[in-house]
Structure 1
Amino acid sequence: MFNDPENLNPINYQNSSALQIINLLFQSLLTVDLEDNGLKPLLAEELPVIEQGDTTTLFNYKIREEAEWADGSPVTATDVAFTLKVMMAPLVNNEQIKSQIEFVRDFIHDKTDPKRFTLVCRSFSPEMELLTGDFFILPEYLFDPDRLLKHFSIQELVEAAPELENNKNLIAFAGQFNNVKFARDKDVLKGSAGYELENWTTGQYVVLKRKENWWGAHAAAATTYLTAFPEQINFQIIPDNTTALLALKNKQLDVLSNIPAADFDLLKKDAAFTQDYALAAPDSYEFNYVALNTRHPKLNNRYTRLALAHLLDVESLIKVTLTNYGTRTVGPVPPAAEPFYNAGLTPYPYSQAKAENLLKEGGWRHEDNGWYKTVEGKKERLTLEVNYRAGNTVFENSSLIFQQHAAKLDIPVVVQALESSLSKQKSQNHEFEMTFRSLSGNPFIFNFKPFFHTSFSAQGGSNITGFGTPETDALLDAINAAQTEREKARLLKELQRILHEEAAIIPLYYLKERIAVHKRFANTKISGLKPNYDVSAFTLKD
């Protein structure tokens, strides 16, 4: 792994490293099998039975009879209800996940079977089938031993959450849940999946150990994706690409993903290496882009932002930094998702002349040593600070190339590498001007509300650019509520058009993943979906 997981809380984890590990500790009702990228039941016995009404949709689930927690107690509907309460409760650090289940209005326990339940949902959209089952189920006995949420109903939290912010039980629960104990303690982070946290040394390694007598090993169905084959899984945290690659070549790693493109091409030509390792480059759903802080006085004008977009030579970036392992895009919808991608838009072409004209339209005037404009009553020079996550050589080189292009137009750019947690902190605190970032997605859900809706733009929120208007807020809500793929496609194309015109983000490309896996393993399930392989399914070849 290139960065430390930082937080293994299944509700408020922050990065993809954490997600990969949590997937081995906890389970959701449904899962995507990387064998065929198909939606399958996981904790659920089968996909939900859907009853669609005029204004309400019912999703009926049953949890597998075999499913149990680490202490041997059964996973029940009460645990699912508890998890939803945590996701909805005020004061809990759950901002990003809360929007995922905002359509859930109530929860009905089956009176005859503790493993059956019904989710009562507002309206209907095709994505709801996945969304109703795509969150990690928490064991109530470990995450709320004092039963502080027991007497609150889902409906109560949905309808009256703002008024409950002063409730002493909710305050007490949030205080406990937001504590570091629920982010790191291996005695608490015990789910229904096949592994337990054995050891975590920050910045060095994470060790997972297979449970003895795990229930999934005895489950009669779905044995192809309900797996926990390796007895132990060791994740080494190596932030530096060069060091990680050296460890791979020295056979100190069995798996390495996100291999730098140039190195990946060299490995393909290395006969000694390919004798022991298989290489794969599936199309991924990882979107690389540049985020601009529209709150900043220098960047609150769209013409200025568009000018910067035309100074990013994306075609060259793909060629130079990725040796063509990338696909250009006009926005955060992958071109491979053809029904939803706005092919009528043209990616910003690299053009110094276009950038210069746009700067003038934005009120900047070129003088002997740069561009100037009166900003909040003061004459300001157009300069930029660009940051990226330390250790990411693609973003480092991209930043330097942008710096060179900007210099040709007399725009000084300071490039800064930031440690992962500091980069996140500065972004969420709005203490940045321009930053290179990536966003992992999937082909099933296009919920961009956490990234562009104004309700997420406060300090600490996930809308770091500050972009948003009443029009785009309504559009984001409508996308999530769309009842047909045709309607969702129309709305998503409109969102892409607005984002393209406003340039609060500058789309770069979708990556092709680059993975090496030792050839002694079978059943690796290489996929374009994160984490791009299913380590729980690995078996040794005969």
Structure 2
Amino acid sequence: MKTRFLFILVLLSMMACNQDKPATSSSFEINIRLNRDPQRVHPVFSPSSIGREVFQYIFLPLADFHPEDLKLHPILIEQVPQSEAATDSTNVFEMNIREEASWSDGTPITAEDYAFTIKTVLHPLCKATGWKPYFEFFKEVTLDSDKPKNLKVYIDNKYMLARELAVTINLLPRHIYDPENLLANYSISEINKNNPSLQDSIHVKLFNLINNSANQKTDMVQCGPYKMTSYENEQYIILERQDSYWGNKIKGNPFLENNPQKLIFRIVPDELTAINMAKENKLDLLTLSTSNTYLELKDDESISANWSFQAPQLIRHYYIALNNKQGLLEDVNLRRALAHLADVDDYMQNIDGGLGIRTIGHFHPSRQYYNNELEPVPYDVEKAKNILSETGWEDNNNDGVREKKIGNTTIDLELDILITGSQLSKNMALLLQESAKQAGVRITLTQKSTALMRKENISSFNYDMVMLSAGQDEAPDDPYSKWHSDNAVPGGGNFMGYVNPESDKLIEQIRKSTNDDERKPFYLALQNAMYKDQPAIFLYCPLKKMMIHKRLSGLATTKRPGYLANTFTLTD
């Protein structure tokens, strides 16, 4: 199935003069709901989806996918480079950083910042673990002493996303973190070889500073159109427009705009509370997780008179993470049985108002390499019962819960599922619990914040199941970080502990393929392998359900998180 992404222009009408005054002050402010506290707001050290809603206005990559056509668009650089063959094994990308581009303290952004960022992430003491599997493809960065904003980047030509990797990274200010330019003494190859001197006390001191910067909030030196001026945990985050911002000199670039004076992110986990705040004009933009609520509000004329309702299709999916590494769910047959106990069509239609599409796996159905030959796992309690019985799980004591003798111990078929405060995740988990009960599986719900889950459970494989969502970028999928066995380690991206040598080989072939046609058969084969293994219960791809106050004129986009608040203007 091919789905063409739509760009939605939301031109919002003038409000009637007798309407309540929306939340604002004498300056142009936008109040935006976040459904949880990001905890850390840093694209290098904490590139989370909820953090992105904030850090996209504070930090900037060299280029990004334009919200209208989803093509790479230059931001810090003058133009997006094309690759040229440097050697038989590397491609080179030559880039010029904009002359105007500067850090928030006035220091020019230079090629040194780029080289410093690559070396920093690759350094063995750096804790930017999410980026390390990608940065290993950097071979070298060369600078021009006569032109400090010019650079050449050498990347392994076997990596599928070499161009995207070269230009979509966010930079770290070298003059702040490494004023003595210590890392300039090392080449990338020396850092990759883990030169023994990288463990010296001077490096330990340097990286204590760098790693701790992940927790910085209002004192960050950055290059985006906004600066963070206030962060009250679990309450709000305030961004204010940069005075005399260098990006104002460049017209027509949506990433550099800063129309509102302030962007105020209000952290409101409870959806009903957020809706009431919207009705009281304390919010201007909010995302809803519950489609039925979204549709009810949309149909309420007293609400829709003041609010626009937008639902772009993001590259995102809901799934239930299963612990493949330890515990009962190491057994693929048990994972398959559980997949048949999830009535996904019911979840999507009756809980989420039908605003979504089924998916058989990690890749979005809109991708050209999505495997349409595979059918979504059907809801079938009898099938689940048969699988469980065939693998030795029986309810011999008639207590409603199956058991099995493993070694010298009889184990009850009891599992725990972690959920967030989201009503959607709770409702789906409750329905799964009820279906599982019919098959003799006892599921217990445990509610935790996402941050606490990751700290206490996910990062250490200390869980059975977790209700989660995942978003992807517009570039082709690189499944290495999430699904390769290299990353099935504590704190790694493969936190489900999925290990399959066949899948590993296919992932490696995907990464080494240089064009879409060459990659497609490996993508299809990988989906086949994962479909058999059921490392997770893949649910569906939801629409982004947004309410935007009609005092605002702006853009809703398929690019996550679905909007660019910095481009919004007030209606006349």
TM-score by length of 2: 0.90
**How far 1:333 sits from its partner (Å)?**
0.7
Aligned to 1:13: 46
- Structure 1 residues 213-228: aligned runs within 5 Å: 213-219=244-250, 221-228=251-258
The 2-side partners of 1:37 and 1:526 are apart by 13
Q: Which segment is superposed worse, 419-428 or 59-68? A: 419-428
1:254 equivalent in structure 2? 284
Deviations 1:269-316 (A, max 9, x none): 111221211111111111110111112331111111100000001111
Residue 365 of structure 1 pairs with residue 399 of structure 2: no
1:444-483 correspondence to structure 2 within 5 Å:
444-483=475-514
Distance 1:161 1:191, change over 3 A: same
CA contact (8 A) 2:359 2:538 kept: yes
Q: 1:154 aligns with which of 157, 182, 188?
A: 188
Matched, 1:3 2:33: no
Closer/same/farther in 2, CA of residues 329 and 461 from structure 1, 3 Å limit: same
1:344 to 343, 363, 373: 373
Distance 1:86 1:222, change over 3 A: farther
Q: Is the 8 A contact 2:324 2:330 kept in 1?
A: yes
The 1:525–1:251 alpha-carbon spacing in structure 2 relative to 1, beyond 3 Å, is same
| 49, 55, 61: which one aligns with 1:28 | 61
* Residue pairs, 1:108-127, within 5 angstroms: 108-125=142-159, 127=161
Kindly report which structure 2 residues correspond to 1:411-426, keeping only aligned pairs within 5 A, or say none: 411-425=441-455, 426=457
Report deviation, 1:488: 1.6
Checking the alignment, whether the CA contact within 8 Å between 1:89 and 1:170 is kept in structure 2 is no
Map of 1:304 onto structure 2? 334
CA distance in 2, matches of 1:464, 1:164: 32
Question: Cα offset for 1:472?
Answer: 2.2
- Taking the aligned partners of 1:280 and 1:300, their CA distance within structure 2 comes to 41
Deviation at 1:162, TM superposition (A): 7.2
- Asked if 1:202 is matched to 2:233, the reply is yes
- Residues of 2 paired with 1:297 and 1:107: CA distance? 45
- Structure 1 position 354 matched with structure 2 position 383: yes
Over 3 Å counting, the alpha-carbon distance change for 1:224 and 1:386 in structure 2 is closer
The one-character-per-residue Cα deviations of 1:451-476 (angstroms, maximum 9, x if unpaired) are 11222222122211111133322322
Q: 1:398/1:56 Cα in 2 relative to 1: closer, same or farther (>3 Å)?
A: same
Alpha-carbon deviations, 1:329-386, whole Å to 9, x = none?
001111111x210111111101111111211333323322232222243111111111
- CA shift for structure 1 position 406: 0.7
- Report the equivalent of 2:16: none
Match in the other structure for 1:67: 101
- Letter paired with 1:398: M
Does the 8 A contact of 1:282 with 1:527 survive in 2? yes
Report if aligned partners of 2:75, 2:253 keep a CA contact under 8 Å in 1. no
Contact 2:341 2:381 in 1 (8 A): yes
Deviates most, 160-169 or 286-295: 160-169
Tell me how far 1:91 sits from its aligned partner. Answer: 2.3
The CA distance in 1 between the partners of 2:387 and 2:125, in whole Å, is 43
Inter-CA distance 223–14: structure 2 relative to 1 (3 Å threshold): closer
| Count, aligned residues | 535
SS in 1 for 2:184: coil
Counterpart of 1:231 in structure 2 is 261
- The answer to which of 31-40 and 120-129 deviates more is 120-129
What's 1:383 paired with?
A: 414
The residue type paired with residue 385 of structure 2 is E
CA deviation string 1:397-443 (max 9, x = no partner):
00000000011112111111112211112111111101111111123
1:122-146 superposed Cα distances (whole Å, 9 cap, x missing partner): 1245532222111111111223345
Report the 3-state secondary structure (helix = DSSP H, G, I; strand = E; otherwise coil) of the residue aligned with 1:117. strand
Give unpaired runs (5+ residues) of structure 2.
1-33
Name the stretch that deviates more: 146-155 or 477-486: 146-155
Question: Partners in 2 of 1:525 and 1:169 — Cα distance?
Answer: 48
Contact 1:90–1:170 under 8 Å retained in 2: no
Matched letter for residue 80 of structure 2:
L
Q: What amino acid does structure 2 have at the position aligned with 1:209?
A: E
Q: Give the stretch that moved more between structures: 297-306 or 47-56.
A: 47-56
Residues 70 and 474 in structure 2, CA contact (< 8 A), matched pair in contact too: no
Partner residue in 2 for 1:269: 299
Which of residues 208, 223, 240 in structure 2 aligns to 1:192?
A: 223
Q: 1:127, 1:516 → 2: CA distance?
A: 35
Of all paired residues, the percent bearing the same amino acid is 27
Superposition RMSD in Å: 1.7
CA distance in 2, matches of 1:439, 1:223: 28
Cα separation, partners in 2 of 1:67 and 1:14, compared to 1, 3 Å: closer
Q: Given the alignment of the two structures, is residue 398 of structure 1 paired with residue 398 of structure 2, yes or no?
A: no
Measure, in 2, the Cα distance between the counterparts of 1:386 and 1:162.
Answer: 44
Distance 1:249 1:488 in 2: 49
Structure 1 gap segments, 5+ residues each: none
Code of the residue aligned with 1:347 in structure 2: it is P
